[in-house]
Chains A and B, each alone.
Chain A
Amino acid sequence: NAGVTQTPKFQVLKTGQSMTLQCAQDMNHEYMSWYRQDPGMGLRLIHYSVGAGITDQGEVPNGYNVSRSTTEDFPLRLLSAAPSQTSVYFCASTPGGGSYEQYFGPGTRLTVT
């Protein structure tokens, strides 16, 4: 199993550009989430999904969009990049049932100039 994979690993965008961060998991996990990590602020939840076709907002959803057409994939779209979105983005998945621990991907470091 590859676990949770993310692409790209690094990305530089200009203000106003859009892009999609890719996330995939091969563990047949029910739940998936996107977090951003900023210095001194911990990991903050952007969006999450409780299953294919079902998504909802987390604590910091503005400027981001998600969809989940399959169990495996959970892409995060930046609609119009802003410097405030410079961060490291992590995708995570959770099995469901009685399991609550999250398993994280390697992250995407995004810089918006």
Chain B
Amino acid sequence: EDQVTQSPEALRLQEGESSSLNCSYTVSGLRGLFWYRQDPGKGPEFLFTLYSAGEEKEKERLKATLTKKESFLHITAPKPEDSATYLCAVQGTRDTGRRALTFGSGTRLQVQP
């Protein structure tokens, strides 16, 4: 069974204080690892897909990295508008036919001015 564990559950940062969110996973065979951002009362918004260990993707202040067991979402010099819940998900080869993702419970990030 595929599993995703995210830590910490919640993180409070000061504006400009860089940090990282962790996503540990076990999967039958990794097709892709996905990061989403979710604002309160809204649906998850797709950020990145990572396919293989060593891959990195960047978008503004966010950078996602991948190893064989975990992924990190690095947030550099965050701003209050980066406050959201960040979700990690995996798709294993078992689920390729149905395109289903296994999600973690998310990290709630709050960036204070």
Contact = CB atoms under 8 A, between A and B. Distances in A.
A50 B97 contact: yes
Interface residues of B, number: 25
Contacts of B31: 100
A96 interface: yes
A102 B99 contact: yes
Nearest to B104: A42
A100 B42 contact: no
A74 interface: no
Contacts, number: 63
Helix, strand, loop or mixed for chain A's interface? strand
B103 A100 contact: no
Interface stretch (A13-21, A61-69, A79-87, A103-111): A103-111
Interface of B: 4, 31-32, 34, 36, 41-46, 49, 87, 89, 91, 96-101, 103-106
Interface of A: 4, 31, 33, 35, 40-45, 48, 50, 56, 58, 90, 94, 96, 100-107
